[in-house]
Structure 1
Amino acid sequence: MEAKLYDGPMIDAHQHFWQPQINPHPWLAPDVLIPFRYGDYSAIKREYLPPDYLKDATPKHNVVATVYVDAEWDPKDPMGETKYIHTVAEKYGMPNAVVAQAWLHADDVEAVLKAQSQYPLVRSVRHKPAGALSPAEAQSGIRTLMSDEKWRQGYALLAKFGLNFDLQTPWWNLHEAKRLALDFPDTLIILNHTGLPYDRSAEGLKEWHKAMSLLSDIPNIVVKISGIGLPDKKWDINDNRWIVQETVQIFGTDRAMFASNFPVDSLCGDLETIFTGFKEAVKDYSPEDQHKLFFANAKKYYKMKI
Structure 2
Amino acid sequence: MSSPNSHYAAVREEWLARHREAPVDPDLPIIDPHHHLWDRPGWRYLLPELLADTGQGHTIIATVFVQCRAMHRADGPEAMQPIGETEFANGVAAMSASGLYGPIRACAGIVSHANLTLGAAVRPVLEAHIAAGNGRFRGIRHITSWDEDESLITPGYATPRDILYREEFRAGFAQLAPLGLSFDAWLYHPQIPDLTALARAFPETPIVLDHVGGPLGIKAYAGKRDAVFAEWRAAMAELATCPNVSVKLGGLGMRINGFGFEERVEPPDSDTLAAAWKPYINSTIELFGAARCMFESNFPVDKGSYSYGVFWNACKKLAAGASAEERHALFSGTASRFYRLGLA
TM-score under structure 2 length normalisation: 0.75
User: Aligned-pair distance for 1:131?
Assistant: 3.9
User: Aligned-pair distance for 1:57?
Assistant: 2.5
Alignment partner, residue 213 of structure 1: 237
User: Aligned-pair distance for 1:47?
Assistant: 2.1
The answer to whether 1:62 aligns with 2:59 is yes
Mapping for residues 178-257 of structure 1, pairs under 5 Å: 178-199=196-217, 201-229=225-253, 231=255, 232-234=260-262, 235=268, 236-257=273-294
Partner AA of 1:18 in structure 2: W
Aligned in 2, Cα 1:103/1:230: closer, same or farther, shift over 3 Å?
closer
Task: Give me the whole-angstrom Cα distance separating, in 1, the residues matched to 2:289 and 2:26.
Answer: 17
Aligned in 2, Cα 1:122/1:133: closer, same or farther, shift over 3 Å?
farther
Alignment partner, residue 166 of structure 1: 184
Partner AA of 2:35 in structure 1: Q
Task: Give me the whole-angstrom Cα distance separating, in 2, the residues matched to 1:261 and 1:144.
Answer: 26
Partner AA of 2:235 in structure 1: A
Alignment partner, residue 322 of structure 2: 285
Task: Give me the whole-angstrom Cα distance separating, in 1, the residues matched to 2:298 and 2:114.
Answer: 20
The answer to whether 1:97 aligns with 2:94 is no
Q: Is the 8 A contact 1:244 1:278 kept in 2?
A: no
Task: Give me the whole-angstrom Cα distance separating, in 2, the residues matched to 1:293 and 1:133.
Answer: 34
Partner AA of 1:105 in structure 2: T
The one of 291, 312, 326 equivalent to 1:275 is 312
User: Aligned-pair distance for 1:5?
Assistant: 5.1
Q: Is the 8 A contact 2:183 2:207 kept in 1?
A: yes
Alignment partner, residue 38 of structure 1: none
Task: Give me the whole-angstrom Cα distance separating, in 2, the residues matched to 1:218 and 1:46.
Answer: 38
Partner AA of 2:279 in structure 1: W
Aligned in 2, Cα 1:150/1:260: closer, same or farther, shift over 3 Å?
same
User: Aligned-pair distance for 1:72?
Assistant: 2.5
Task: Give me the whole-angstrom Cα distance separating, in 2, the residues matched to 1:49 and 1:9.
Answer: 22
The one of 100, 105, 123 equivalent to 2:138 is 123
Task: Give me the whole-angstrom Cα distance separating, in 1, the residues matched to 2:330 and 2:90.
Answer: 26
Unaligned runs of 5+ in 2: 1-23, 98-105, 150-159, 218-223, 263-267
Task: Give me the whole-angstrom Cα distance separating, in 1, the residues matched to 2:108 and 2:341.
Answer: 7
- Listed one character per residue, the Cα deviations across residues 77-100 of structure 1 (whole Å, up to 9, x for unaligned) are 111111111111111232100011
Other structure's SS at 1:19 match: strand
Alignment partner, residue 112 of structure 1: 125
Other structure's SS at 2:261 match: coil
Alignment partner, residue 153 of structure 1: 171
- Listed one character per residue, the Cα deviations across residues 148-195 of structure 1 (whole Å, up to 9, x for unaligned) are 000100000111211000000111111111111111111011100110
Partner AA of 1:193 in structure 2: H
Task: Give me the whole-angstrom Cα distance separating, in 2, the residues matched to 1:133 and 1:292.
Answer: 37
Alignment partner, residue 299 of structure 1: 336
Partner AA of 1:273 in structure 2: V
Alignment partner, residue 12 of structure 1: 32
Aligned in 2, Cα 1:240/1:6: closer, same or farther, shift over 3 Å?
farther
User: Aligned-pair distance for 1:8?
Assistant: 1.4
Alignment partner, residue 91 of structure 2: 87
Q: Greater CA deviation, 293-302 or 104-113?
A: 104-113
Task: Give me the whole-angstrom Cα distance separating, in 2, the residues matched to 1:66 and 1:286.
Answer: 23
User: Aligned-pair distance for 1:129?
Assistant: 2.2
Alignment partner, residue 5 of structure 2: none
Task: Identify, as 1 or 2, the structure richer in helix.
Answer: 2
Task: Give me the whole-angstrom Cα distance separating, in 2, the residues matched to 1:72 and 1:274.
Answer: 25
Unaligned runs of 5+ in 1: 21-29, 31-44, 135-141
